[in-house]
Each structure stands twice: as structure tokens, then as C-alpha cells.
Amino acid sequence: MKITAVRIHNLASIVDAEIDFTKAPLRDAGLFAITGDTGAGKSTFLDAICLALYTKTARLRGDKGNLIDFNGDSIKLNDPRNLLRKGKWEGFAEVDFLGQDKQLYRARYTIQRTHKKITGKLKVAEHSLYTLPDETLIADKSNTIKEVESKIGLNFEQFSRAVLLAQHEFAAFLKATGDERAQLLECLTGTDKFSLIGKRIFERHKEQLNKLELLKASLASYTLLTDEELAAKTQLLDDLKQQIEDTTKTLAGIEQGINWYKQANSLEQALNLAQQNQQQASTALKAIATQSEQAKQAQSALEIKDNRNRFKSLTAQNNELNTKVNDLKSIDHAALITDLASALEKHNESLQRAKQQQKSAEPIIAKARELDNQLAMQTQTITSITRQNEKEQKQLTHLQQQFKQSQASHQQAKKHSEQHQQWLTQHSQLKQLASDWNYYQHSFNQFLHAKQQFATTTEQSTQLAAELIRQNEQLETQTKKLTLSEQTLLSEQQKLDQLNKQHGQFNIEQCDAKLKNIDYLKEQRERYKQFNQELKQSTQQQSVIASKLSQGEQTQTTLTQNLVTREQTLKHSEYALNQARLRASESVEHLRAQLTPNEPCVVCGATEHPFADQQLTNLIAAFENDYKNAKQHYENALAELHSHQTQHAVLVAEHTQHSQAVQTAKTKQLEIKHTMQAARTELNDLTSEQLEASYIALNEQKTQYYATQKQQRNLQEQVNQLQSIFKNEQQAQQQLHTRHLELSNQQSQLNSKLSELSTQINELTATLGSQFQEAQFWQQLQNNTLDLTELNQQVEQYQHNQEQLEQAQKQLDSADQQMQQFTPLISDAKLILKNLNDDLAKAQQQHSSSQSERLALFNNEHISADDYQTKLAAQQEQCQAQLQRSQKAHDNAIKQRDEHAITLQGLEQRLLENTQEQADLDTRYNQWFAEFKSRYSDASHEQVTILLTLSSDEIKTHLKQHEQLAQALIDENAALKQHKHAYLQHQNSDKPKQSHAELIQQLANLNDQQAAQHKAQLATNTVLEQHNQNRQALQGKQTELATLQKHVEQWHVLNKVLGDATGKTMRNLAQTQTLKILLHYANSHLRTLNKRYELTAIEQTLDIAIVDKDMADEQRSVNTLSGGESFLVSLALALGLASLSSNKVSINSLFIDEGFGTLDSETLSIAMDALDSLQAQGRKVGVISHVSQMTERVATQVHVAKKPGGYSTVTII
């Protein structure tokens, strides 16, 4: 990487400057100096390089980001836009450099204000990168920094250490302690990640410890049942399951009785519905009786419908034929043909006249064409002269306007010049200020700032004295509060000691053991009573169930016999029904339909046919009804038998369960009795009342113990609070004492500052007063009646008026010159315009004469020769078309006359034929109506007409509806009979002895009982499941605990070796390696600067020692080096860090920002020799300094010179 050029425009004190390292003398110089007075702007070049490449500078990097007001903009202190020169709207820094890819690039950083005005707001800075020499943009905005880093190979931190070296930082590094050196190395090399690793190890170890403590604490929240509690809960769950099973069986019997009532209600509702349906079917059939009769008559009338339709069609055709015949007879063809012949003759005469007119117009058209050509040429001439005239007129007008503008500018400039000269004369006292305002403004600022600080410091001193008095009073008050707090603490501590002594005399463990024994004994006695009661109940229930089993076996025998009888009846009914259906099959029905009364049957030869009609159908319906009844009785008997068998099985199971319950109760009773005898204590001899009294007494003692314990805790908390208060009071007293010392020191500092400010004010007053003793603004500034901002505005206005006066004088001279130039130009333009007007008048006169002659040819009609010729041709074509149309109309009239005669003859023949057919249709209709009348005596022709309006689909719909309603009535009658039978049969079946309401009440009671049992079962089951879950969770937690303990041990080892809260251990360990690498690079540079010394690191530390090769490799402290030697070693360290930062990047440019002002002549000579050796290594080295001896040694210089007005100029020497 190599910098080839730097350009600056309006940054800090530099207005415009360019340093081109590709041109002589910088091109041939390996070492050059940037020289100039302090504050001239030497370091601005380094700022410009950093800005152009990375948009930030090394000098502003450490400033705070507080907001300030910068010429109307609120920006941060470290914002690079602060470098824009005051009073300018634009500035930029530009750097040309050679990248790592050996290509030339140009980076540019631009600062601008809006609207290109100095009063505009600051815009966002622009950053761009171009390739050279074609200046192609390759990056802009935020992408530029990444591109620059890739082209150079360094980021800003690396660049500021490898290319821009600040020697004084490494002098501090050389003399620093080990810890300070580690911090500096970390900052300079950007290796803070090692500190972060050390912190992370410490935090991770702490985090794992916290997790371990939380896990141990969480284990205490898991509780398990004892073996006795687990057994009791398991037994309770079994008992609840048995109780639920018993309740379920009882519920089944009650629900069966309720179902009987539900079925009876359903059958009654079905019977009522069947009666309603039968009545509705009968009513519906009666309602459509008339409609059905009309449908039957309409079906008979369908055979004459075609006759009537044809009769109507013929009548309509005859009416239409009569109309057409009359229309044809009313047309007079002879008169029409005569009129058309007359029109044909007229159109022929018109055509002949048109042809004659076209022939006679040919010479006139030729003359018109000749005159048209003359007029076109004359019009072109007039247009050309008119355009030239307009152009010259515009030129004249423009010259006259410019002449007037020059006159107005001359007058205005003269007026402004007089005004500005008058204003400057009136404010002549500002002339000296305006000549060097930056200097005087700085001096006035110092004067006013010193006065303001003096007043502020005086006020602070007064307030501080008052604060000291208040601090003394607070210190005395705090001492009294501390004494009182100490006395209260001693009193409460004595009370606590006495209460601890009383509390220790009661044994809470012995009391809990006695209470537990009493609870256990009471529980065992209660369980013994409970099992005794259960034994009695189970014995009674067992006897009842045994009696029910005996009765159930007898009932089951009777039901089995009834089922056999019902099954035989069902088989007989099924056989009879199948035989009837066989006789009513489709083929038999077909033969039966062909039977004729008193004629023999083709199958059996019988002459009587009893089942030829509906009788067989009724018989089959009766067999089907008998079969359904038999099947229903069989199913009821079978269901009753199954129900009884189920109840019997339930009773058998209940009898077995009760037998087991009796045996279990006896066994548990015996176990409890043996347990109580085995654990016999003095409590067993006590009665229930005595046992309860002992229990109450022990609980009262326990309650008193916990009350005393609570009182003890409260008192301990009070003591702790008092101790905290006493400690806080001590800290407050110490803080007050410390604050008193701080205030005293501040008072001394303020007094010293007041003395310094007073001296500064006196010096500035003497200096400025000697120059502006009589000036009014100086008196006002001293009296604080004039603000410096107002004075600045007055000076700026004075400078502005000076500039305006110069501009007005320039405008005056320019206006005079313009007026002298415009006078001859205006005279020439007027003469040219007069000649053009004469030519235009002559051409217009010739054009008017030709136009009059042209209009006379066509009777003053404005028409071209071609249009006139086209018009005559169109008139001839129009006459020819009219003639053709007349001829065609005449021929069509003759043709139409002949066609109408033929059509009339055909229409009359069709009319005769239709009339004869109508007569035949009417005769056939009268014969049919006579026959229809014989069947329906009340029939009439109007009724027949109405019947014929019904369509075939409507007739079929009405007949089908009648048939469906008749069948529906038959079906509803059969259904009604069946529902009556079912209802009576259910009423005669086994009816419950209890009413429906009683059964509902019993069902509700049993449901509540069963719900309570389920609730108890759920609670018990939940306890057992929680016990199992806790047991499994504890197993998992133990595994997790072992794993976490292993992790904690691993992190403990890492934290012990590498970790701490600040990352110091890991940082120092890593920086010892960085220090060795740095010293390796530094020694390579030190050997070229001074062969006597070599840097070395003391083992396992961050300390640095010097090896003196001239003293047999003696190792000694770096503090023993002289000033010149320290500079050489520090410079070697600086170059070593540059090599460390750029070990992968080739750097051929180096800038050293070191004043060298503190070095003596001998050390300075050594430093210059070192710099000469650097350029011998192939680097272009630039040194920033204002030391004269330095400038004498360096031949090539970039000199920055300060000028009045706050700006500097740059010269390359």
C-alpha cells in the first residue's frame, strides 16, 4: 500500500492544498518533513488521509459523543464534519493510493451544506471510491469503507498504527507496569477477545454453580409417601372401585324401570300420531275428489284434442290467406310502370347535359392551373420576406432591451456603490477589526470567557463557603444519631439473648413424636371401628343376595319354557305367510287377472274364483300381521330371558364380592388388633377422652413454642435492622467527613483559579485597550452591554459591504462597455428592417392582382382546378347512376306485376282447400260429442273446451295423486291397527312397582353417590400418581445433578487457571505471547537503528528489559536508558507494532506525528539518523515537526504557513 497524492479543500485552516508524491521534489525524496508553526494545520494532512479512506480521524476518536451547536447544526463532538471550514458550504479530502493489487485508486470524502449556502444545514457526508486513471466509480456510501479495507488490506485501527505513528504512546508503554502494559497491548493490537474469554469463563463457572444450587434446592420440593401411607392409599383405591361397581349394578336396574315408562310414553305418542295421520289421509282423499273426476273426463277428451287443434289452425290460415289476397288485388301495376318510364327519360337528358358541360370547361381549367403556379411562387416570396422581417425585428427588440438593461444596471450599480461607500464611512471604527477579525475575535472571546469564569467562580466560592457551614452542622447531627443508634442496638441485643435462652429449654422433636403416636393410635382405632361396621353390612347384604339368587333361578326356568312356546308359534306363522306369498307371485297374479266369472281356470279348471280380486291381498296382510305379532312376542321373551340371565350373573358376582369383602374385613380387623398389641405403649391404656386431652395439651405447648420462635425471629430481624442502621450511620458519618475534606480542597482550588483569572483579565484589558481605547464597541464589551455575536455580525456586515462596493464598481464598468457596444448595432438593424418592409409591400401587390384574375375564372368561387374538374366528373357520374337506378326500377315493376298474378292464383286455391277440410273436421267432432254426451250427461261444448286446456302431464299428475292418497289411506289404517296392538301389549307386560317419579329420584340419589365415589377415587388416584411422578422425577434429577456436578468441576478448573471477573488473568497470559512477537519485530528495527541494544521479555511476565551487547549481554532495566536511547527504543517499538499490524500487507508510506521539541541536539541527531535509515529501507517517510534543527536536516519540506484571517497556505520546498 502506498499513498501517491493528498488533496484538501476547506478543511480546518487549509483552504486548498495538494501534495503529489508522484511529482518532483517529493517523487525523488524518501524522507520529507511537514513543517510549520503550532496550530498552522500540519496534522490536518493526517486527518484528511484518514477521512478520505475511513471517514474518521485518530484525533477525534477519543472525543465524547456529546452534541454541540456547530454553525446552526446540532452534531456530536467527534463528528468529522466539525472540520469543515467556517464560512464555507463545501469541503473535501481526497487521497490517491496504490492498492495491494498494484492498481491505482482515489478515495474522496465530501462535506456539504444544503442549497450550496453557508447558512444551509449540514448534509450527510459523501464517501466514494474510484479507479484511476479512468475515474470509474466502484463504491459509494457505506460500501466504500469495506472496499477501501479490501484494497489496502488494513482496517482503520490497523492503518492508524501501521501508517500513522504516535511515538509518545510507546514511551508510556516502555515505562508502564506489567498490568498497564497488558492493557496497552490489548488496545494497540486489538486483541481484547482474550479478556472477553476470561470473563466468559468466570461467568460460565458462576452460572454453573448457580444452576447446581438451584437444582439442589428444587430436590427438596419433591415429597414421597411412606410405605404405610402408600399401602393405605392403594387399599382405599381398591375399596372405592368395588363401591363404584356396586352402585353401577343398582343403577342398571333402576334405568330398566325408567326405560319401561319411556317406552310406554313413546308408544302412546306413536298411537296418537297414527290416528292423526289416518284422519289426514282420509281428508286429503276427499279434498281431491272433484279434481280427480275432472282428470278422468279430460283423459277421455284427449282423443278429440287433435281435431280441435287442426280446426283452429285452419281458421287462422284462412284469415291470413284472405288478407294476402285482398292486398294483392289492391295494387295498380299499370300506373306505377308509366311513372317509372317518364323518370327514365328525364335522367337520360340530364346525363347528356353533364357531358357537354365537362367538355366546355377544359380551357378554363388550363388557365386556372397556370395562375395557381404564379400564386404559389408569389406566396413563397412573401413568406420568406416576412420571416426575415420578423427575425430582424426580434434582433432589434433584443438589442434595445439589452441597451435598457445596461442603462438600468449602470444606474443601480452607481446607487449601490454610493450606499456602500456611505455605510463604510459611517462605520470606519470597524475597519481595523475587519482586517484581521479571527485574531480579534479570539482575543475578545478569551476576555469575555475569563470575565464569565471569574463571575461564575466567585459565585461558586460563595456557595461552597455556605456548603461548608452546612456540612459542619450535619456532621454534628450525625454524630448524635450514631450514639443513639448504638445504645438502642445494645438494648435489643440483650432482649434477644434472654429469649434464646428460654427457647432452648423446650424439646420440639419429643413433642412431635408424641403427637404422631397419638395420631397413629386414633387412626388405628377408627379403622378398627370402620372395618367392624363394613363386616356387618357385608354379612347382611350377602344374605339378601342369596335369597334373590334362589328366586332368580325359579324365574329363569319359567322364562325358558315361555321362550320355547313363542318360538313354535313364530315358525308356524312364518310357514303360513310363505305359502300365501307363493300363491301371490307375479306369474300367478298374471294368470289370476285373466280369470273370467263362470269360465274354467286354465290351471285347476274351477269355475269359481274366490281369490281373483282383493280377497287374496287381504289374506296375505292378515298372515303378515300374525307373523309380526309372533315375532314380537318371541323377541320380547328372548330379551326378558337375557335380561334375567344378566341380572342373575350380576347377583352371583355380588354374592362372591360380598363373601370376599367379609373375609377381607375380618383379616384387616385381626391385623389392626395385632398391630396395636405389638406397638403397645402407655397411650394404649388411655381412654378416647384422655387421649384427646393429652393431644390438646401437646398442641398448646407446640403452639407456644412456635409463637416464641416467631417472636425470636422478629427480634432477631429488629437487631439486624438496627445493626444495618448503625452501619449506615457510620458510613454516613464517614461520607460527611470525606465530603467536608473535598469541599475544603475545592475552596482552595477556587481561590487559586480566581487569582489566575484576575491576572488574565488584566493582561487582556491592557492589550485590547491600547488599540481600541476610544472605540464604542470596546466600552460596551467591557460594560457587558454588547454581545460578541452582535459585534461579529457588525464586522461581517462591514466585510460584506466592502465586497459589495467592489462588485458595484465592477458592474459600473461593465455596464458602460455594454452601452457603447449596443448603439451601432441598433442603427444597422433599423436600416435592414426598412428595406425588408419595402420588398414585402411590392410582393403583396403582385399576389393580390393574380388572386383577383384567378377568382374570376370560376365566378369568384374559391376552388382549385383539380377540385373543379373532379366536381364536373362527379356530376356526370351522379347522372349516370340515376339513369341506371331508373332503368332497374322500371324493369322490377314489370317483373313484380307478373309475379303477383301467379301468387294470387295460388292463394285462392289454398283458401278453397282449407274450407273443405274445416267442414270435414266439424262433422267428425259432432259425432264424437254425441258419444261423449251419452257418457257424461251434463257435458257441454264449453266444458269440452276447458277439458282440452289441460295438458297430458297435468291429467297424469291428478290421477297419480288420487291413486297415492288412496294407497296412503290404506297404509295409515294398517299402521293404526298395529300401534294399537303394540300399545296394549306393552301395557300388559311387566310394569314396575314404583312410579316413574320415584325411580327418577332414586336414580338422582345414586348418581350423586356414584359422583362422590368417583371424586374420592380421583383424589386417591391423584395422590398415587403424584407419588409415582415425584419418584420418577427424583431419579431424573439425581442423574442431572451428577452431570451438573461434573460440569461444575470442569469449569472450576478452567476458572482457577484462566478466569476472573475482569478477564485480567487470560488477558495477561495472552499478551505475554503478543509481547514476545512485538519485541521480535521491534528488535529487527532496533538493529538498524542501534546495534548495541536488544529488547527482551522477562519470563512469564509482561516486564521488558534491555540487553546491552557492548556490556557482555548484560540485562538491565529500561529505566536506565538515556533520553536519546529511550527515543530510539520507543521508535523501534512503534515500528515493530506497525510491522505487527501489517505483517500481511506491504506498506510503503509512513507518517510520524512527533514534534521532537523535547529532544536535545545530540538526541535529535540520533533521531534523524534513524529516520534516514528508514527511508533507506524503501519507505517514503513523512515527519511532522516545527523544530528548526529538524527542518535544516530534511531537504524536502511541505511548509504550512499561517495567514491573517484564520487560514493557512501550503508550499512544497
Q: Residue 1142: which H helix or E strand, with range?
A: none
- Lowest-pLDDT range, 155-159, 315-319, 444-448, 532-536? 532-536
> Are 1212 and 1180 spatial neighbours (Cβ–Cβ below 8 Å)?
no
Measured in whole angstroms, how far is the alpha carbon of residue 72 from the centre of its chain? 38
Residue 294: is its pLDDT beyond 90?
no
Tell me which residue has cell 300363491. Answer: 583
CA angle 277, 283, 285 (to 5 degrees): 105
* Domain regions of the chain by residue span: 1-163+1147-1213, 178-218+1063-1143, 508-642, 951-985
> Are 48 and 84 spatial neighbours (Cβ–Cβ below 8 Å)?
no
d(CA 536, CA 665): 10
| pLDDT-derived band at 587, boundaries 50, 70, 90 | very low
Amino acid 361 reads A
pLDDT digits 0-9 by tens, 838-871: 888 888 888 888 888 777 777 777 777 777 778 8
Residue 97: is its pLDDT beyond 90?
yes
CA angle 1092, 1094, 1095 (to 5 degrees): 150
Coil, strand or helix: which one is 33?
strand
Q: What is the mean pLDDT of residues 25-36?
A: 85
| pLDDT-derived band at 607, boundaries 50, 70, 90 | low
User: Could you check whether 1-163+1147-1213 and 178-218+1063-1143 share the same CATH topology?
Assistant: yes
pLDDT digits 0-9 by tens, 34-49: 888 888 888 888 889 9
What's the whole-number average pLDDT of the chain? 78
**Under CATH, which architecture does the 1-163+1147-1213 domain have?**
3-Layer(aba) Sandwich (3.40)
C-alpha R_g of the chain: 66
CB under 8 A, 24+ apart: contacts of 511-516: 511/698, 511/701, 511/702, 511/705, 512/702, 514/694, 514/698, 515/695, 515/698, 515/699, 515/702
* DSSP, residue by residue, 946-983: HHHTS-HHHHHHHHHHHHHHHHHHHHHHHHHHHHHHHH
What strands, in cross-sheet order, belong to the sheet with 126-131?
136-140, 126-131, 104-112, 90-98, 2-11, 14-20, 1207-1212, 1197-1203, 31-36, 1180-1184, 1149-1153, 164-165
pLDDT digits 0-9 by tens, 868-891: 778 878 887 888 888 888 888 888
Which of 273, 285, 280, 282 has its CA nearest to residue 975? 273
Q: Is 543 exposed, middle or buried (0-12, 13-18, 19+ CB in 10 A)?
A: exposed
pLDDT digits 0-9 by tens, 379-433: 888 888 888 888 888 888 888 888 888 888 888 878 888 887 888 777 777 777 7
C-alpha cell belonging to residue 1059: 478466569
**Strand 31-36 to strand 14-20: parallel, antiparallel, or no bridges (unpaired)?**
unpaired
| pLDDT-derived band at 92, boundaries 50, 70, 90 | very high
| pLDDT-derived band at 1178, boundaries 50, 70, 90 | low
Class in CATH terms, 178-218+1063-1143: alpha beta
d(CA 783, CA 774): 14
* Residue of 1157 and 879 predicted with greater confidence: 879
d(CA 961, CA 289): 11
d(CA 1124, CA 1118): 12
| pLDDT at residue 680, rounded to an integer | 46
Q: What is the mean pLDDT of residues 1073-1089?
A: 84
pLDDT digits 0-9 by tens, 421-474: 888 777 777 777 777 777 777 777 777 777 778 888 888 888 888 887 887 888
| pLDDT-derived band at 582, boundaries 50, 70, 90 | low
pLDDT digits 0-9 by tens, 737-774: 777 777 777 777 778 778 878 887 777 777 777 777 67
Q: What is the mean pLDDT of residues 1172-1187?
A: 75
The 8-class DSSP code of residue 60 comes to S
Which of 969, 966, 977 has its CA nearest to residue 280? 969
% of the chain at pLDDT higher than 70? 86
- Does a cis peptide bond (omega within 30 degrees of 0) precede residue 133? yes
* DSSP, residue by residue, 383-406: HHHHHHHHHHHHHHHHHHHHHHHH
| pLDDT at residue 148, rounded to an integer | 92
C-alpha cell belonging to residue 226: 411412606
Q: Residue 1176: which H helix or E strand, with range?
A: helix 1161-1176
Residue 1173: is its pLDDT beyond 80?
no
Which of 1022, 921, 1057 has its CA nearest to residue 310? 921
**Strand 104-112 to strand 90-98: parallel, antiparallel, or no bridges (unpaired)?**
antiparallel
| pLDDT at residue 93, rounded to an integer | 96
- Does a cis peptide bond (omega within 30 degrees of 0) precede residue 25? yes
% of the chain at pLDDT higher than 90? 5
Helices (H), 427-436: 431-435
Tell me which residue has cell 257441454. Answer: 940
> Are 23 and 1212 spatial neighbours (Cβ–Cβ below 8 Å)?
no
CA angle 663, 665, 666 (to 5 degrees): 65
Residue 586: is its pLDDT beyond 50?
no
> Are 19 and 5 spatial neighbours (Cβ–Cβ below 8 Å)?
yes
d(CA 785, CA 777): 9
| pLDDT at residue 108, rounded to an integer | 95
| pLDDT-derived band at 726, boundaries 50, 70, 90 | confident
Q: Residue 578: which H helix or E strand, with range?
A: helix 508-583
Greatest Cα-to-Cα distance within the chain, rounded to the nearest angstrom: 169
